[in-house]
Amino acid sequence: MALVNEHYLKLPGSYLFSDIAKKVNMFKVTHPGTELIRLGIGDVTRPLPEACIRAMHKAVDDMAQAETFRGYGPEQGYDFLIEAILKHDFAPRGVSLSPSEVFINDGAKSDTGNIGEILRWDNSMGVTDPVYPVYVDSNIMCGRAGQRDGNGMWSNVTYLPCTAENDFIPRIPDKRIDIIYLCYPNNPTGTTLTKTELKKWVDYALANDTLIFFDAAYEAYIREDHVPHSIYEIKGAKRCAIEFRSFSKTAGFTGVRCGYTIVPKELTAFTLNGDERVPLNPLWNRRQCTKFNGTSYISQRGAEAIYSPEGKQEVKTVIDYYMENARLMREGLQAVGFKVYGGINAPYLWLQAPAGTSSWRFFEQLLYEAHVIGTPGVGFGPSGEGYLRLTAFGKREDCMEAMRRIKNKI
Ligand SMILES: *Cc1c(COP(=O)(O)O)cnc(C)c1O
């Protein structure tokens, strides 16, 4: 008799986007012909950079000839891509890493979800609230999150509220937590941590033997100098942090699939009796070699092209486009009196609902009165109540039209 992993039965349904779809469909039935503007999508919309397209076409041609054909590649990724990453993403920021500290993957979601496998199930963990759902759900699946209480919070998860009251800066815990997930620039709030703030986390982690999982998927959107692109810009971080990067939001790779994870050689965790420090890099390498057979050669050639001079220019053009959307939206919303956060170093705006209005009420107000679709903040965690997420990934005309409608109707 096969027994299921009962932790899966504890998973709350992922209703957020289906609840939104239901409400939108209801609106469409009662308002046929009304044009809606979707600013809720968390996916890019601009096509791939030309340089990536050319590189991927060429990679397909390589596959067509016996002399240049590639079968299984290294599980950790091809050297050509790892070298480009080290040279362009880290060396210019004063971070020196060795090739064996880089693991190419098929996107950051896989590794942020899988990384917990190399750690005991009974570590304690903490997340910022609101949060990208993968971090908590992947821990529920292995039993690490504990039990769910009446408010939908998990017994073994410490929630670090990020709201306007604390300027979206999570407070350093007053107790030891074994594993902490940080995502900066943040999805969903679009806010960041300065070097000074991030250093407090690294210092906390070093003092408490905490492991930080740092998700930097939106690194390419950073505009301000005091915002770190990598946690390894902070001294000591190689001893306490794993960093996740992705080409998805950087270069439109959400459908191509490629990203990477940094597991420094110095990074260790303890055995149960606490007398031995075990390096995590060989553990993750072993895990990947057993369960992962590498990212496609074609995707990796496409990713390499992002670092060519043309690739860099084309990536910048697309990110500038989204960030100009973000600026127009932020300024448009502020001009009509809304409190809006994020959107300066990230493609997300975190809009505060008028006092006393819940996330869902505000969502419906925007839908019914302005015909604009956002994402209710409470869907990302209890501290998201009273907020709504708008993304800057849409078309310029749509973003501008949405601002006009909000100005006239709300
Ligand atoms: C989009 C996103 C990712 C990237 O996911 P991929 O699997 O690389 O497409 C990672 N983390 C966060 C917070 C994201 O929003």
CA 246 to ligand 1: nearest atom:
8
User: Is 187 touching ligand 1 by the criterion CB < 6 Å?
Assistant: yes
The answer to whether 245 and 232 are in contact (CB under 8 A) is no
- Nearest-CA residue for atom 12 of ligand 1: 217
* H-helix or E-strand spanning residue 352: strand 348-352
Which of 44, 109, 128, 322, when mutated, tests ligand 1's pocket best, judged by the most ligand atoms within 8 Å of its CB?
Answer: 109
The CB-side HSE value for 231 (13 A sphere, CA atoms) comes to 32
Q: pLDDT tens, 358-390?
A: 999 999 999 999 999 999 999 999 999 999 999
- Kindly give the distance from the C-alpha atom of residue 110 to the centroid of ligand 1, in angstroms, as a whole number: 9
User: Is 301 touching ligand 1 by the criterion CB < 6 Å?
Assistant: no
Name 350's bridge partners: 341, 389
The Cα 206–Cα 169 span in angstroms is: 19
The answer to whether 340 and 5 are in contact (CB under 8 A) is no
Could you tell me where the beta strands, DSSP code E, fall in 49-202?
Answer: 102-105, 125-129, 157-161, 179-183
Handedness of CA 257, 263, 269, 275 (dihedral sign): positive
- Kindly give the distance from the C-alpha atom of residue 242 to the centroid of ligand 1, in angstroms, as a whole number: 15
> Is the preceding peptide bond at 170 cis, omega within 30 degrees of 0?
no
Name 389's bridge partners: 350, 375
- Nearest-CA residue for atom 4 of ligand 1: 108
Q: For 89-102, give the DSSP string.
A: IIGGGT----GGGE
The Cα 98–Cα 232 span in angstroms is: 13
The Cα 357–Cα 12 span in angstroms is: 25
Q: pLDDT tens, 235-267?
A: 999 999 999 999 999 999 999 999 999 999 999
User: Is 217 touching ligand 1 by the criterion CB < 6 Å?
Assistant: yes
Average pLDDT, the chain: 97
User: Is 191 touching ligand 1 by the criterion CB < 6 Å?
Assistant: no
Residue 357 pLDDT > 90:
yes
Q: pLDDT tens, 180-210?
A: 999 999 999 999 999 999 999 999 999 999 9
Cα distances from 385 to residues 97, 284, 352, 355, in angstroms, run 40, 37, 9, 11
- Kindly give the distance from the C-alpha atom of residue 66 to the centroid of ligand 1, in angstroms, as a whole number: 35
User: Is 107 touching ligand 1 by the criterion CB < 6 Å?
Assistant: yes
The Cα 312–Cα 133 span in angstroms is: 31
User: Is 254 touching ligand 1 by the criterion CB < 6 Å?
Assistant: yes
Residue type at 164 in one-letter notation: A
To the nearest whole percent, how much of the chain has pLDDT over 90?
96
The CB-side HSE value for 317 (13 A sphere, CA atoms) comes to 13
User: Is 346 touching ligand 1 by the criterion CB < 6 Å?
Assistant: no
- Kindly give the distance from the C-alpha atom of residue 346 to the centroid of ligand 1, in angstroms, as a whole number: 13
